[in-house]
C-alpha cells in the first residue's frame, strides 16, 4: 500500500485544476466513497497487526494533507473568482451616470400593429370583444353545435354561469354580424384566446390571434385568394405561395396559406420540418349557415374570413424557439422588432 503515491497523484491533479467545479470533482475522486484513499482504509484489516497502526497513521496523515490542500485551493480560487467579478463589474463612480435603457413595445404588439397596418390599407378597422363569452357566440352561432368534433379540437376553460374563455377571436365576428351593420363589413379582431391543451414548444393554453372578416355582395374565391396573397406578401415579402384545402366549421370552402421555406436546406430543416412549406394563414368563404343564423340572405351576400396566429408570428420574428418565452419577463426577448422573419422561419 503506497500512501505516498496517492498523495503524489492528488498533487499532480491539483496543479491542473483551474476552477471550483474541477476542484469539487477532484475532492470526490480522492476523498469520496470510491476514492483510492477510502479503499486503502478498507484494506487495513488485511495488514499485519504489527504494521496496522503505522499504516493507519500514514493514511490519516494523507487524508489530512489532501483535505488541507483542497481547502487552501478552494479559498484561493474563490478569492480569484471574486477578484475577476469585481474587475469585470468595476465602475468609476465619479463618471457621469448612464441613462436607463429605453423601453420597447412587446413583440406581440409589434406584430399586431404591422398586421393592422396592412389591413387598414384595405379598409379594415379593429374591433374588440369580451374574452369571457357564452357558448352561443363561441360555438353554436359559428356552425359548431354541441357534440360537433370541432368542440373537442377547441376544448376551452369553462367558468360559472355557463360562460367560457373564448377559444378564438371569431366570437367578435359573431357579435358584429349579430348587430347587422351596413355593408360592406371589413373588421379585424385581435387578442388573447384560451384552449385546454398541453403546453409544449409551440402550444400554450393561452395565446394570441388576429382574425379578419369581409362581408359584401358578390365576393368570391378569387377575392379571397387575392386578399390572402396581398396580406402574406405585405407581411413576409415576395415569394412562392400555395393554397391547400383545410376544414373550419364556419367557412366553406376553407383554405390554408403556405409560404415556401427559403431557408430550407433539405434534411434537418427545423423551420419547416423538411416539408419545404410553412403555414401562416387559415381562411375561407363564410359558411351559408352562419349567414342564416344572423338573418343575412346568403344568396345576396358573401364573405371572407381569415386568421393569423400572432403568437407564433411574434415568436418567429423575435427568433425564439419556444412561444412561452414571449410571455416571460425576459428583456433579451422583449425588444423592439424591425424586420419580418425569413420565409419559413418557425
Which pLDDT score is estimated for 345? 44
pLDDT above 90: percentage of residues in the chain: 32
Per-residue model confidence (pLDDT) at position 14: 85
Taking only the tens place, the pLDDT of each residue in 189-203 is 999 999 887 777 667
Give me the pLDDT at residue 154, please. Answer: 65
Of residues 300 and 46, more confidence is placed in 300
Query: 328: buried, middle or exposed (CB in 10 Å: 19+, 13-18, 0-12)?
Result: exposed
- For residue 62, give Cα distances in angstroms to 32, 36, 72, 170, 301: 14, 11, 15, 76, 93
Model pLDDT, residue 273: 63
The residue assigned the cell 503524489 is: 8
pLDDT band for 296, please (50, 70, 90 cuts).
Answer: very high
Reduced to 3 states (helix: H, G, I; strand: E, B; else coil), residue 171 is helix
Most confident range, picked from 61-70, 116-125, 328-337: 116-125
pLDDT in tens, 94-130: 877 777 777 778 888 888 999 999 999 999 999 999 9
Beta-carbon-side half-sphere exposure of residue 92 (alpha carbons within 13 Å): 3
Dump pLDDT digits (tens) for 140-153: 899 888 777 766 66
Query: 199: left (phi > 0), else alpha (psi -120 to 50), else beta?
Result: beta
CA pair distance 156, 135, nearest whole angstrom? 10
| Mean pLDDT, rounded, for 312-323 | 78
Q: What is the 3-state secondary structure (H, E, C) of 194-257?
A: ECCCCCCCCCCCEEEEEEEEEEECCCCHHHHHHHHHHHHHHHHCCCCEEEEEEEECCEEEEEEE
Structure-block grid coordinates of residue 146: 354541441
List the grid coordinates of 171: 366570437
| Mean pLDDT, residues 28-46 | 80
The residue ranking higher by pLDDT, 239 or 1, is: 239
Cβ contact 305:213 at 8 Å: yes
Whether this prediction's pTM lies above 0.75 is answered by no
pLDDT of 294 above 80: yes
| Inter-residue contact 204 to 324 (CB < 8 Å) | yes
Task: Give mean pLDDT, residues 300-324.
Answer: 85
Domain map of the chain by residue range? 3-89, 107-327
* Strand-pair category, 185-194 with 206-216: antiparallel
What is the model's pLDDT at position 122? 93
Per-residue buried b or exposed e for 158-185, using 16+ beta carbons within 10 Å of the residue's own CB = eeeeeebbbbbbbbbbbbbbeeeeeeeb
To the nearest 10 degrees (0 to 180), the angle between helices 49-89 and 3-16 is 10
Check residue 343 and give its pLDDT.
44
Is the distance from CB of 253 to CB of 224 less than 8 angstroms?
A: no
Alpha helices in the chain (DSSP H): 3-16, 20-31, 36-42, 49-89, 107-120, 135-138, 149-153, 170-178, 221-236, 288-293, 310-317
- Per-residue pLDDT averaged across 222-246, rounded? 89
Residue 308: strand, helix, or coil: strand
What pLDDT is attached to residue 157?
85
pLDDT band at 301 (very low <50, low <70, confident <90, very high): very high
Q: Residue 324's pLDDT is what?
A: 82
Q: Which three cell numbers stand for residue 292?
A: 342564416
The mean pLDDT of 67-73, rounded to a whole number, is 88
Note the pLDDT of residue 36.
Answer: 80
Cα-Cα-Cα-Cα torsion 267, 270, 276, 281, nearest 10 degrees, comes to 170
| CATH H superfamily, domain 107-327 | Bira Bifunctional Protein; Domain 2 (3.30.930.10)
The percent of residues in the chain predicted with pLDDT above 70, rounded, is 90
Statement: residue 1 has pLDDT above 70: no
Task: Report the pLDDT value the prediction gives residue 67, as an integer from 0 to 100.
Answer: 86
Distance CA 232, CA 255 (A): 14
Amino acid at each position: 500500500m503506497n500512501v505516498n503515491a496517492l498523495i503524489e497523484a492528488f498533487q499532480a491533479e491539483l496543479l491542473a485544476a483551474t476552477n471550483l467545479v474541477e476542484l469539487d470533482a477532484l475532492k470526490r475522486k480522492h476523498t469520496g466513497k470510491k476514492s483510492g484513499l477510502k479503499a486503502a482504509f478498507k484494506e487495513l484489516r488485511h495488514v499485519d497487526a504489527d504494521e496496522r497502526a503505522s499504516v493507519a497513521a500514514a493514511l490519516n496523515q494523507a487524508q489530512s494533507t489532501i483535505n488541507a490542500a483542497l481547502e487552501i485551493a478552494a479559498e484561493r480560487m474563490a478569492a480569484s473568482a471574486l477578484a475577476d467579478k469585481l474587475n469585470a463589474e468595476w465602475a468609476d463612480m465619479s463618471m457621469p451616470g448612464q441613462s436607463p435603457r429605453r423601453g420597447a413595445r412587446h413583440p406581440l404588439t409589434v406584430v399586431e400593429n404591422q398586421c393592422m397596418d396592412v389591413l387598414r390599407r384595405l379598409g379594415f378597422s379593429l374591433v374588440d370583444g369580451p374574452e369571457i363569452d357564452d357558448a352561443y357566440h363561441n360555438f353554436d352561432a359559428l356552425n359548431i353545435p354541441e357534440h360537433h368534433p370541432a368542440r373537442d379540437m377547441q376544448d376551452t376553460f369553462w367558468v360559472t354561469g355557463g360562460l367560457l374563455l373564448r377559444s378564438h377571436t371569431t366570437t367578435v365576428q359573431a357579435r358584429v354580424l349579430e348587430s347587422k351593420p351596413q355593408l360592406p363589413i371589413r373588421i379585424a379582431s385581435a387578442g388573447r384566446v384560451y384552449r385546454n391543451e398541453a403546453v409544449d414548444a409551440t402550444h400554450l393554453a393561452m395565446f394570441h390571434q388576429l382574425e379578419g372578416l369581409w362581408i359584401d355582395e358578390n365576393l368570391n374565391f378569387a377575392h379571397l385568394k387575392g386578399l390572402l396573397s396581398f396580406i402574406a406578401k405585405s407581411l413576409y415579402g415576395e415569394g412562392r405561395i400555395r393554397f391547400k384545402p383545410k376544414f373550419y366549421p364556419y367557412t366553406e370552402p376553407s383554405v390554408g396559406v403556405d409560404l415556401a421555406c427559403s431557408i430550407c436546406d433539405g434534411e434537418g430543416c427545423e423551420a419547416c420540418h423538411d416539408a419545404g412549406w410553412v403555414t401562416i394563414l387559415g381562411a375561407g368563404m363564410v359558411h351559408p349557415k352562419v349567414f342564416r343564423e344572423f338573418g343575412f340572405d346568403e344568396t345576396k351576400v358573401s364573405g371572407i374570413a381569415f386568421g393569423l396566429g400572432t403568437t407564433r408570428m411574434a415568436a418567429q420574428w423575435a427568433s425564439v424557439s419556444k412561444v412561452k418565452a414571449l410571455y416571460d419577463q425576459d428583456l433579451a426577448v422583449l425588444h423592439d422588432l424591425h424586420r419580418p422573419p425569413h420565409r419559413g422561419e418557425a
